[in-house]
Chains A and B, each alone.
Chain A
Amino acid sequence: MYDVIVVGSGITGGWAAKEFCEKGFKTLVIERGRHIDHRGAEYTDMQAPWQIENRNKVPELFDEEGRYAMIERKGYFKNATKQFFIDDKEHPISYPKESPFKWIRGYQLGGRSLTWGRQSLRWGVKDFQANAKDGNGVPWPIGYEDLAPWYDYVESFIGVSANKDGLDTLPDGVFQKPWEMSCAEKFISENLKEAYSDRRLIIGRSANLTEPTKEQIELGRGQCQARAYCNRGCTFGGYFSSLSATLPAAERTGNLTVVTDSIVESVNYDDKLGKATGVTVIDAHTKQKRQYRAKVIFLCASALGTVQILLNSKSKSFPNGIANSSEAVGHYIMDHFSGVLANGEVPGFDDKFSIGRRPIATYIPNYRHEQKDGVDFVRGFGFQGTAQNRSNTGTAARRVGIGATVKDESNQAGPWRFRAIMYGEMLPNYDNHARLHPTDKDQWGIPILHIDARIRDNERKMIKQAAKDIKEILTVGGCVDIQVNEFPESKPIFVGDRVHEMGGACMGEDPKNSVLNKWAQTHDVKNLFVTDGACMSSCATQNPSLTYMAITARAADYATKLISQGLL
């Protein structure tokens, strides 16, 4: 019998484990993926391009066999990183043809904390008010002020390099030294500041250490060396991951037990006690089932992983899945979405260069919380963008030309170009849902998820506006030769493609329409908590993991108080 079971060892599971272990609770982390050693053989960050197997190309066999179809062309899916992503052929999901979905996963100790982009942004006051304001989704039971101290707490531990920009929409926090902007980015940033009261280009806020604290050094973490190889694992412990930070912190307390290769099939519920008693696990290799017991259960299996477990945990009291009296489990699935890519030349810096590989982009925070300029949609969007290097002439690999002259003209410094991609806020919509497939099961006999989440009218309208806006922003920013690429309305947009999938067990005051209370504790089962992305009632435009971490730490603090008072 453990005090706490934490399901999943990714960004949120690592945090839950650290918090409970540091507070003296015997904690079991159950992870479906394999064990990975921090700085072990699976890290490839110390390999030069010529040392990486297959010169970093994934084997063509994957394509031939239809494997990894969801991510095959993604920049982050390379030979050096492929071990950290799962093959969707082995782990299928289902979705309607007209509303395709991508569920991009990493089943291993550390989950997607190993491969995340590390952009760590607070939500602002308005983000938590949005549902109540425009009536979409379930109103948040918490506001920015509830999370602010937990953002501080989390940022102090993980290490966030950022500038104090003084923006209401993107509150400042506990920051380490920011990364430098390039001359081209500074130029655009200054032009925007001068021209607009609401649009800013700031340096990204990144969970890469620029000024490691004593605590971080004691955990074996070192200063980031500007290599941008983070998604290969980092030998220096320069970026935050469960393996570099939370799990070692939990481990050193002596209170942590980790079991890997163990798939949580369901949460066990005692109808008489009215409590969750533990979980049933299927061994990933032998497929044998076993059970673990604990006083408290934290589900941190990632938003959709947790939805799957909740829906699959059926009992007399909860025939439609545990903690689902509201029938809201699986609903309000969201992700950020894009639909606009743009780039423009930044003239005037032909004598300037960059060096080193900055591990973060720049950012234009959402400036459309209010419905201004006569727009016909609610919520807003921001842009992630970069001009960290000069463009270069490239090589003739895919164009005509061979020989000495072509070679001499290759890879020469070109003009600075700023590239931007829109990140829009998808509305929480009850109809965007995930449910258990009625017949199809995975290789462990667990029903697979059927996900039906669609980009709808509000989102499409945003795309149109974002295309107009970014053209104007780049012009005002001083760019020339601006190209804006708007995703055609006729083509479906894959929800999940931005890898910020969330929702499915939303927080709310009312147990009739929400799954979790303001502590991320299920309304129905007091000793069951959900603190991964499933708990989100809306998705804002900021990358979400920092908010998940803050919610997890806050929920763990609350749960420890309840355990100590004998209330769980």
Chain B
Amino acid sequence: MSNINISRRVFIGASMYLVATPIWASVFNSANALAVFTESGQFFTADELTILTDIAEIMIPRTNQPGATDAHVINVLDGLMLSWAGVETKFRYKSIIKQVEQIALASFKSDYKSVSQSDRESLITELDKRAFADRTSELSISYRKLKEMIFHIFYTSEEANPNFMLVPGTYKGDISKELLDLYNARGRVS
């Protein structure tokens, strides 16, 4: 991760930034490991999906366990924008994408999609820190709301819950780790 210094001014500026016209992405940039969407979703444009998917994967990357992309977090989010999100959330999620783009531009003199993977990671990491350090700005509120939903979708996904049992059969409250692993492997408490 490159050691960038995202200035306080950039964040304040981004907080005031409101929704702008979405831009369509059309190329796949293999150089900076960015998954570029070429089709719009139900709510987000292709460009927005590209940025959101990247943000979600930076937040919850694939390790030896699946990450946000494996769990289709942003595809699910796109659907939820129509069935779950209210007016304010719709506005906030669109605006945070624009704000992230603006921060990228101000920090790297380049649009988000052209920024290197490590710089994108630095940017979102810094954004995360600042959003929790000062929770009052619009930027912070929008970011935290998006983060919470990304995490919610990931941690309720099948990929994040390999041991989930729909029908455990019974309850046991005093078992060893070995027994726990055995029941989980069986997919049933018996």
Whether A associates with B in a native complex is yes
State which residues 145-203 of A face B: CB under 8 Å. 179-186
CA gap between A57 and B131 in the complex, in Å: 24
Q: Is the CB of B174 within 8 A of A48?
A: no
| Residues 32-63 (chain B) with a chain A CB within 8 angstroms | 58-61, 63
**Once the chains bind, are A411 and B168 in contact (CB under 8 Å)?**
no
Residues of chain B from 1 to 16 with CB closer than 8 A to chain A in the complex: none
Bound-state Cα–Cα, A353 to B182, Å: 12
Q: Does A218 contact B (CB under 8 A)?
A: no
Do A400 and B161 touch across chains, with their CB atoms under 8 A apart? no
B107 interface residue, CB < 8 Å from A? no
Interface contact A352-B147, CB-CB below 8 Å: no
Fill in one digit per residue for A211-246: 1 if any B CB lies within 8 Å of its CB, else 0.
000000000000001110000000000000000000
Judge if A404 is at the interface, Cβ distance under 8 Å.
yes
How far is the CB of B174 from the nearest CB of chain A, in Å?
4
Taking CB atoms, residues of chain B closer than 8 Å to A357 are 168, 171
Asked whether B87 is an interface residue with its Cβ less than 8 Å from the other chain, the reply is: yes
Report if B132 contacts A (CB, 8 A).
Answer: yes
- The verdict on B166 contacting chain A, using a C-beta distance below 8 Å, is yes
Contact string, B153-190, partner A, CB cutoff 8 A, digits 1/0?
Answer: 10111100100111111111111110110011000010
Interchain pairs with CB closer than 8 A, number = 140
| Cβ-defined contact, B176 with A397, below 8 A | no
Contact present for A403 and B121 (CB under 8 Å): yes
Identify which of A58-66, A317-325, A428-436, A499-507 touches chain B.
A58-66
- Note all chain B residues with C-beta closer than 8 A to A186: 174
Q: Scan A337-354; emit 1 where CB is below 8 A from any B CB, else 0.
A: 000000000000001111
Shortest Cβ distance from A415 into chain B, in angstroms?
15
In contact, A56 and B175 (Cβ under 8 angstroms): no
Q: Which residue of the partner chain B has the closest CB to A349?
A: B174
Query: Is B59 in contact with A398, judged by CB distance below 8 angstroms?
Result: no
Of A185, A227, A403, the most chain B CB neighbours within 10 A belong to A403
CB distance from A80 to the nearest CB of B (A): 12
A358 sits at the interface (CB 8 A): yes
A55 interfacial contact with B, CB 8 Å: yes
In the assembly, what is the distance between CA of A179 and CA of B67, in Å? 37
Q: Is B18 an interface residue (CB 8 A)?
A: no
**B21 proximity list for chain A (CB < 8 A):** none
A136 to B6, CA, bound (A): 68
**Any chain B CB within 8 A of the CB of A74?**
no
Are B183 and A355 in contact (CB-based, < 8 A)? yes
B136, CB-defined interface residue at 8 Å: no
| Docked-complex contact B121 and A183, CB < 8 angstroms | no
Q: Is the CB of A353 within 8 A of B180?
A: yes
Does B19 reach chain A (CB closer than 8 Å)? no
Contact of B171 among A60, A64, A226 (CB under 8 A): A226
- Chain B nearest CB, measured from A363 CB (Å): 15
Chain B residues contacting A408 (CB-CB under 8 Å) are 63
Q: Determine the chain B residues whose CB is within 8 A of the CB of A351 once the complex forms.
A: 176-177
Contacts of A46 in B (CB 8 A): 166
Chain A residues lying within 8 Å of B124, measured Cβ to Cβ, are: 402
Distance, CA A227 to CA B67, complexed state (A): 27
Question: Which A residues lie within 8 Å of B80 (CB)?
Answer: 54-55, 57
Report chain A residues within 8 Å CB of B128: 400-402
Contact status of A407 and B65, CB under 8 A, knowing A48-B164, A56-B156, A353-B175: yes
Complex Cα gap A358–B169 (Å) = 10
Please report the C-alpha to C-alpha distance between residue A121 and residue B142 in the assembled complex, in whole angstroms. Answer: 46
Across the interface, do A179 and B59 meet the contact criterion of CB distance under 8 Å?
no
Q: Is B170's CB under 8 angstroms from A55's CB? A: no
Against B, the Cβ 8 Å flags (1 = close, 0 = not) of A375-410 are: 000000000000010000001111111111001101
Q: Is the CB of B152 within 8 A of A57?
A: yes
Q: Is B151 an interface residue (CB 8 A)?
A: yes
Contact across chains for A407 and B171 when beta carbons are under 8 A apart: no
Query: Which residues of A are found within 8 Å of B168, using beta-carbon distances?
Result: 225-227, 355-357
Interface membership of A49, Cβ < 8 A: yes
- A residues in contact with B132, CB < 8 Å: 399-400
A481 CB to closest chain B CB, in angstroms?
21
CB of B164 to closest CB in A, whole Å: 6
Residue of B nearest to A405 (CB): B63
A60 touches B89 (CB 8 A): yes
CB nearest to B85 among chain A residues:
A60
Kindly state the separation between the CA atoms of A279 and B67 in the bound complex, as whole angstroms.
Answer: 60
Find the A residue at minimum CB distance from B62.
Answer: A404
Binary interface encoding of chain A residues 14-50 relative to chain B, with 1 for a CB under 8 A from any of its CBs, else 0: 0000000000000000000000000000000010111
* Separation of A388 and B170 alpha carbons in the complex (Å): 13
| Complex: A60 Cα to B67 Cα, angstroms | 27
Among the interface residues A59, A225, A402, which one has the most CB atoms of the partner chain B within 10 A?
A402
| Residue contact B189 to A226, C-beta cutoff 8 Å | yes
Contact present for A355 and B176 (CB under 8 Å): no
Docked-complex contact A182 and B174, CB < 8 angstroms? yes
> Is the CB–CB distance between B86 and A402 below 8 Å?
no
- The answer to the question of B125 belonging to the interface, with a C-beta cut-off of 8 Å to chain A, is yes
**Set of chain B residues within 8 Å of A182, measured between Cβ atoms:** 173-174
Query: Is B30 part of the binding interface, using a Cβ–Cβ cutoff of 8 Å?
Result: no
Does A489 belong to the interface (CB within 8 Å)?
A: no
**B100 to nearest A CB, angstroms?**
13
When distances are taken between beta carbons in the complex, the residues of chain B under 8 Å from A226 are 168-171, 189
A53 within 8 A of B: yes
Measured CB to CB, the nearest residue on chain B to A411 is: B155
* Pairwise interchain contact B152-A55, C-beta atoms closer than 8 A: yes
Complex contact B86–A64 (CB within 8 A): yes
Across-interface contacts of B170 in A (CB, < 8 A): 225-226, 356
Residue of A50, A401, A411 most packed against chain B (CB within 10 A): A50
CB distance from A496 to the nearest CB of B (A): 27
- Chain B residues 67 to 97 lying within 8 A of chain A, measured CB to CB, are 67, 76, 80, 83-89
Q: Which of B85, B151, B169, B176 contacts A353 (CB 8 A)?
A: B176
Pick 26 A–B contacts, CB within 8 A, sort by A: A46-B166, A49-B157, A49-B161, A50-B156, A50-B158, A54-B84, A55-B76, A55-B80, A60-B88, A60-B89, A64-B87, A180-B173, A181-B173, A183-B173, A226-B169, A227-B166, A354-B171, A354-B173, A355-B183, A388-B173, A395-B155, A397-B151, A402-B128, A402-B147, A403-B59, A403-B121
A-B residue pairs, 7 tightest by C-beta: A182-B173, A60-B86, A397-B151, A356-B171, A356-B168, A400-B132, A358-B171
- Given contacts A50-B161, A55-B76, could you give 5 more A-B pairs where the C-beta distance is less than 8 Å? A49-B156, A49-B157, A54-B83, A354-B173, A411-B155
